[in-house]
Copies of this chain bind each other. A is one copy, B any other.
Amino acid sequence: MAPDRPPGRPRSSVDATVFAATLRTVDELGYTHATVDRIAAAAGVAKTTIYRRWPSKGALMTACLVDAFGPLPLAGGSRAEIMSAAVRWGAAKISEPGVGAAFAGVFTDAINDPALREILSTQLQDPYRLVLQETLDEPEQRVLFLIDVVIGTLLHRMGMTGEPMIDADVDALVEMVVRALR
């Protein structure tokens, strides 16, 4: 059951470096101006190395977001408490430097790119949706709607102001969603 390393030169372990460079570049220049060339330069890596690991800029961004978000923390409690924690966790993560801009960018790239939409769905969105759906014991349609509300609100705000939401708005969003749950 050894890992059975494949033949040839092993890949250098620069994934984390590239992810960090990606978020940093997006934070500094915005999604559009964060070109793959610049990201590669910021990571000290050749552009070809990036394209060897991820098939497109959107795929790179998606992988970067998956890495940045990590697993959804589920600390038990009532359904309202779970939901509340999830919303606050999402708001906090999306406010980290570069994350919100990367999310908004890859999301809208995906609108006109079916292949990227597939990647985004399966790698980033479906996992969280399924966990929430099971944990809250809500029908799929309902969870999808609530995710629309939470992510949509956060992204719309980020896109407009470029700043994270103020605490009062996060509180209001939590209250709205928790209320809608009953």
Question: In chain B, what residue has the closest Cβ to A151?
Answer: B156
Write the nearest CB–CB distance from A174 to chain B, whole angstroms. 11
Complex CA distance for A110 and B148, rounded to whole angstroms: 21
Q: Is A12 interfacial (CB-CB < 8 Å)?
A: no
Give the one of A31, A107, A166 with max B CB within 10 A.
A107
Tell whether A153 is near chain B: CB-to-CB under 8 Å: yes
- Which residues on B sit within 8 Å (CB–CB) of A101? 111
Check A111/B157 contact, CB under 8 A, given A149-B173, A149-B176, A172-B180: no
A149 CB, min distance to chain B CBs, angstroms: 5
CB pair A176–B172 under 8 Å, yes or no, is: no
